[in-house]
């Protein structure tokens, strides 16, 4: 009798916490209705079936709070696993939230060249939107893509893809192309107070303007990067202006700073980029790598076209950039096309840890190559 009573009580309590105001998502099927009707949403311990998106396309000014464990089922598809869209929206991860992409089920050591893998987050937000406090575990491919956005701040995220590191994952099951934050065609974007363990660019800014990246810790990455030239015909898509990276730390991985223009792209420009107060250690290939001959090819295949002047890099400021690379790595590499690099001002740039030589075919003011 007592047990029955207890069971009834527990059911009653559960029902009352679940009932709340009808704005808590605990089942995948609830998402569409709740997102379209509520302005203050909770997402609580959810399983998202493979091949489906947790689509938080929120009403104007709405907020969503992510709690508990959100797990995404396995399916070979392009994603995204999570869509966050809206104007003036706030998305907050509560303490102990985990979004688990189950990347280890996809990783095959081939990244975007292997089985089809979903991107994790796609974000399109504006009008002072804020997305904060999310804990992202095991991205199958790119972790966070921000595109077509303006006036948006992302802060206090952790991206933990450490299980995909080559020396941690099972043989040939490591991960590649797990960019932390990719920013496309966006303006007035702030990325701050992030911790990223991954295997490709920690942050990669591709097009747009007025982007600030502040206080990011990167581990195992290909660096805090700029990568411009993804279009053959749109100058706008190949244009990046007014970007600042500050107060950040890069530990291990391929490059600390990587700026690249794509040799197989149409025309554009990179103008007014500042890196300031960056420290790094233990880089495996380059400390600072700036190249105007980049081509995206599978791992270990070589492509070294001559640098091209399709995307000039002007007004590149480096201030107080210090760090170390491993003994065989190149400290500073600059490969510009004739006349396509100008007005670079570098002060307090020192890279140690190696006897290897710098290699520069353009000399920034204030730097001894």
Ligand X SMILES: *[C@@H]1O[C@H](CO)[C@@H](O)[C@H](O)[C@H]1NC(C)=O
Residue 51 to residue 365: CA distance in whole angstroms = 51
Q: C-beta of 264: minimal distance to ligand X in Å?
A: 4
Q: C-beta of 261: minimal distance to ligand X in Å?
A: 11
Whose Cβ is closer to ligand X: residue 75's or residue 210's? Answer: 210
Whose Cβ is closer to ligand X: residue 73's or residue 357's? Answer: 73
Residue 340 to residue 314: CA distance in whole angstroms = 8
- 169 contact partners, CB below 8 Å, separation of at least 6: 104, 107, 163, 175
Q: C-beta of 50: minimal distance to ligand X in Å?
A: 14
Residue 175 to residue 142: CA distance in whole angstroms = 10
**What is the 8-class DSSP label of residue 61?**
T
| Alpha carbon 192 to its chain's center | 12
Q: C-beta of 217: minimal distance to ligand X in Å?
A: 11
- Name the nearest CA neighbour of 95 among 70, 63, 68, 72: 68
Q: C-beta of 224: minimal distance to ligand X in Å?
A: 13
Q: C-beta of 5: minimal distance to ligand X in Å?
A: 45
- Name the nearest CA neighbour of 321 among 281, 363, 261: 281
Whose Cβ is closer to ligand X: residue 94's or residue 184's? Answer: 184
Whose Cβ is closer to ligand X: residue 1's or residue 290's? Answer: 290
- The owner of tokens 């095959």 is 108
Whose Cβ is closer to ligand X: residue 83's or residue 354's? Answer: 83
Q: C-beta of 8: minimal distance to ligand X in Å?
A: 39
Residue 61 to residue 245: CA distance in whole angstroms = 29
Whose Cβ is closer to ligand X: residue 14's or residue 342's? Answer: 342
* Rounded (5°) CA angle 265-250-177: 45
Tell me the backbone φ, ψ of residue 32, rounded to 5 degrees. -60, -45
Q: C-beta of 209: minimal distance to ligand X in Å?
A: 4
Whose Cβ is closer to ligand X: residue 94's or residue 317's? Answer: 317
Dmax over CA atoms of the chain, in Å, equals: 88
**What is the 8-class DSSP label of residue 170?**
S
Which positions lie near ligand X, rule CB under 6 A? 53, 55, 57, 80, 83, 109-110, 122, 124, 145, 147-148, 185, 209-210, 230-232, 234, 236-237, 241-244, 247, 264-265, 272, 274, 277, 279, 299-300, 320
- Name the nearest CA neighbour of 125 among 139, 144, 141, 142: 144
| Alpha carbon 85 to its chain's center | 17
Q: C-beta of 17: minimal distance to ligand X in Å?
A: 28
Whose Cβ is closer to ligand X: residue 241's or residue 309's? Answer: 241
| CB-CB contact of 58 with 23 (8 Å) | no
Residue 39: how many CA atoms within 13 Å on its side-chain side? Answer: 5
Whose Cβ is closer to ligand X: residue 159's or residue 205's? Answer: 205
């Amino acid at each position: 009798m007592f047990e029955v009573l207890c069971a009834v009580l527990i059911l009653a309590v559960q029902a009352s916490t679940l009932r709340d105001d009808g704005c808590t998502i605990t089942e995948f099927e609830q998402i569409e209705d709740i997102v379209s009707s509520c302005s203050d949403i909770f997402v609580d311990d959810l399983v998202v079936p493979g091949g489906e998106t947790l689509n938080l396309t929120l009403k104007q000014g709405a907020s969503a709070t992510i709690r508990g464990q959100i797990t995404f089922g396995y399916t070979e598809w392009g994603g995204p696993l999570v869509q966050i869209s809206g104007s003036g929206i706030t998305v907050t991860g509560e303490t102990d939230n985990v979004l688990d992409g189950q990347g280890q089920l996809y990783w095959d050591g081939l990244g975007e060249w292997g089985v089809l893998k979903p991107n994790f987050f796609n974000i399109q937000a504006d009008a002072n939107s804020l997305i904060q406090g999310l804990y992202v575990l095991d991205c199958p491919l790119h972790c966070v893509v921000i595109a077509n956005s303006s006036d948006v701040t992302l802060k206090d995220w952790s991206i933990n893809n450490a299980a995909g590191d080559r020396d941690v994952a099972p043989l040939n099951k490591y991960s590649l192309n797990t960019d932390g934050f990719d920013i496309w065609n966006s303006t007035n974007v702030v990325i701050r107070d992030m911790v990223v363990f991954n295997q490709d660019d920690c942050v990669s800014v591709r097009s747009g303007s007025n982007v600030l990246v502040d206080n990011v810790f990167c581990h195992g990455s290909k660096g805090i990067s700029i990568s411009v030239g993804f279009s053959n015909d749109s100058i706008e898509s190949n244009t990046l202006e007014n970007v600042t990276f500050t107060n950040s730390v890069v530990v291990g991985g391929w490059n600390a700073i990587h700026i690249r223009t794509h040799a197989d792209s149409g025309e554009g420009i990179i103008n007014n980029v500042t890196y300031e107060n960056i420290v790094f250690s233990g880089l495996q290939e380059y400390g600072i790598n700036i190249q105007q001959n980049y081509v995206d090819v599978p791992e270990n295949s070589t492509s070294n076209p001559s640098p091209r002047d399709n995307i000039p890099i002007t007004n590149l400021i480096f201030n107080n950039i210090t760090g170390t690379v491993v003994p065989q790595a190149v400290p500073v590499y600059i490969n510009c096309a004739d006349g396509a690099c100008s007005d670079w001002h570098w002060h307090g740039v020192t890279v140690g840890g190696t006897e290897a030589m710098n290699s520069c075919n353009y000399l920034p003011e204030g730097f001894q190559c």
